[in-house]
Amino acid sequence: RARLALPDLATLGPVATLGRRLPGCAPALDLSASRVALPEAGDDAAADAVIVFTSGTTSRPRAVVHSRGGLAAGMRSVAELVRPRPDAPVLGGTFFVLLPSLTRGAPVALPARTPRVLARQLARLTPQATYLTPPQLRVALAASAPFTGRVWTGSAPAGAELLARVKRAGADEAWGVYALTELFPAAAVEAAEKAAFGGTGDLAGAPLPGVRARVDGMAPGKGELLLAGPAARHRYLGEDPDPWVRTGDRARWEGGRIVLEGRLKTMVLRGAENIYPGLYEPSLHVAGVELALLVGVPAGDGDERLVALVQPSPGADPRRVRALLAGPLERMGSARPDAVLLTDIPLTGRSRKPDRAEAARRAAARLDGRAAPASVRRL
């Protein structure tokens, strides 16, 4: 369905579909069928280990092939970063976190799906380490969930204010992890360091041990972020191997740390100025703001209007939010948005990232009066 050219999996062993079968899939699992042993795997570190599909939220879905050696390197990197102990549980929903914890003897648990149950689960287990995506953190905090130990988050943007809220809820440390399907993890930053960062853009932190990073093109020290390292994917299915992973993120170096400046494809052209939303969005995450996006909306003359969509935290006073936004908006200078909308921001994909395309469509509809009214202020 993702229009990917898959190999003939039947040559590797028996293939069956679990659950609802879609057209073109393998036959449904037959529990009465005879058992067939899988071929010997061998111990070649360069051999293919797993194929992981990207979510497709930022580009066409791709099949990422990790070798055994690369997967093992990634597991070691996570274990060194999280440092799980064998005497306390780890809560998380990805095998990149759960498998290294199991190998260190730590009991693991998958996070509950509903906020109230997740809050009770966190209170009962008191995990030594927790890995939740930013949307999961937000719903847990809204349910008054207590946090313990060290909390990690990734897969979507996590601002300094969100990490600070996690620490206020009891966590000893709160970390933002920069990672890709192609390389996990690549960099990490703790809440205190992120809060102390006063520059533009989103501080991702220093590359983790073994990770090589460079910035390619556009201007000295700025351009697309490229990553490489022992844990990097071997190749994309159907393509030749390449040691460097193109992240699609615009970035710069600052003090030996990676500072993200947004996706290359999200640039807004207003007048004759190129505006990169990722440079300014972190500054809009003031107290009382849960999410903030900058999107381009067609202006009707071939130009674009820049619109800020701001989603207040539950119970936040909209007037206080606007007052706190005044300073960051003023400091944006020539990149100041034409309008600010206080509204819910749509999410998409399995990692529940902000859906910029849908957000831009909603912004255009509201500014043109074609949708339900929102709190809008033209600047």
> Please, what's the b/e burial string for 307-318 (b: 16 or more CB within 10 A of its CB; e: otherwise)?
bbbbbbbeebee
Dig out the tokens for 123 from the structure. Answer: 């209170």
Count of beta carbons in the 10 Å neighbourhood of residue 240: 6
Which spans in 46-177 are helix H? 68-82, 95-103, 115-125, 134-142, 160-168
Q: What is the pLDDT of residues 290-346, one digit of tens each?
A: 999 999 998 766 678 999 999 999 999 999 999 999 999 999 998 999 999 999 999
Secondary structure element (H or E) that encloses residue 278, with its range:
helix 277-280
Q: Structure tokens of 32?
A: 């009465």
The whole model's pTM is what? 0.72
Q: How far is CA 365 from CA 182, 278, 296, 358, 373, in A?
A: 36, 23, 13, 11, 10
- Domain spans, the chain: 67-264, 267-378
Same fold yes or no, 67-264 and 267-378:
no
pLDDT in tens, 156-171: 778 899 999 999 999 9
Record: fold of 267-378: GMP Synthetase; Chain A, domain 3 (3.30.300)
Return the exposure string of 191-227: e unless at least 16 CB atoms fall within 10 Å of the residue's CB, then b: bebbbebeebbbbbbbbbeebebebeeeeeebbbbbb
Q: What is residue 85's three-state secondary structure? A: coil
Classify domain 67-264 by CATH number: 3.40.50.12780
Residues in the chain: 379
Compute the radius of gyration of the chain from its Cα atoms. 22
Q: For the CA atoms of 354, 358, 363, 366, what is the dihedral angle to 10 degrees? A: -130
Tens of pLDDT, residue by residue over 200-251, are 889 999 999 999 999 987 554 468 999 999 999 999 988 899 999 999 888 9
Task: Name 301's Cβ contacts closer than 8 Å, sequence gap at least 6.
Answer: none
